[in-house]
Amino acid sequence: MENKISQVEAPAAEAASPVEHDAVHQGCCTSRRAVLGGAVLGAAALGLAACGASGPNEIPEATGKPEPVLKTSDLAVGGQASVTAGKTKLVLFRPSEKEVLAFSAVCTHAGCEVSPGSENRFHCPCHESWFKAEDGSVISGPANAALPRFACEIKGEDIVVYI
Ligand code: FES
């Protein structure tokens, strides 16, 4: 097993909220959004645009390889963590005592690593995208697609992700 915990975090204060980010980076992000918007319109014109690209992803079947990624006792209810399962980088969120959610930590904008944030949000530091920890959907871009979800469950003392 080659799992590595790089960060475990319970909800806490965060440096910059998406609102603050927008106020600071209005110029650069507006132009980037305009570029992305043009790309999306182009894709739609070709009939390639996906419906609900920013919405949450479905929970996949637990059919992959089960990988223990963290001890249940190391992730408090409401907490988030960055873990790896083999070569797959993940972010976890524990919304309740009996449930842990797992998402790809690869940002859907340009592939930077998404990490635990605050207030039930994951954060990509490269261009300040924020994602809902409850379902991986985009709160604020430039990312415009949800983080892919992995099946995950609590098995005894372990949090297991199906890769
Ligand atoms: S890579 Fe650009 S916001 Fe994540």
CA of 31 to the centre of ligand 1 (A): 15
Interval between CA 76 and ligand 1 midpoint (Å): 27
Cα-to-centroid distance, 18 and ligand 1 (Å): 13
* Closest-lying ligand 1 atom to the alpha carbon of residue 128: 3
- Ligand 1: atom nearest CA of 129 is 3
Query: Which residue's C-alpha comes closest to atom 1 of ligand 1?
Result: 110
Residues having CB closer than 6 A to ligand 1 are 107, 109-112, 124, 126-127, 129, 142-143
Dist. CA 129 → ligand 1 center (Å)? 6
Question: How large a percentage of the chain has pLDDT more than 70?
Answer: 63
pLDDT in tens, 79-104: 999 999 989 999 999 999 999 999 99
The series of mean pLDDT values per 10 residues for the chain, 163 residues long, is 48 42 38 37 33 55 84 96 94 95 96 94 97 95 94 94 91
pTM over 0.75: no
Q: What is the largest CA-CA distance in the chain?
A: 50
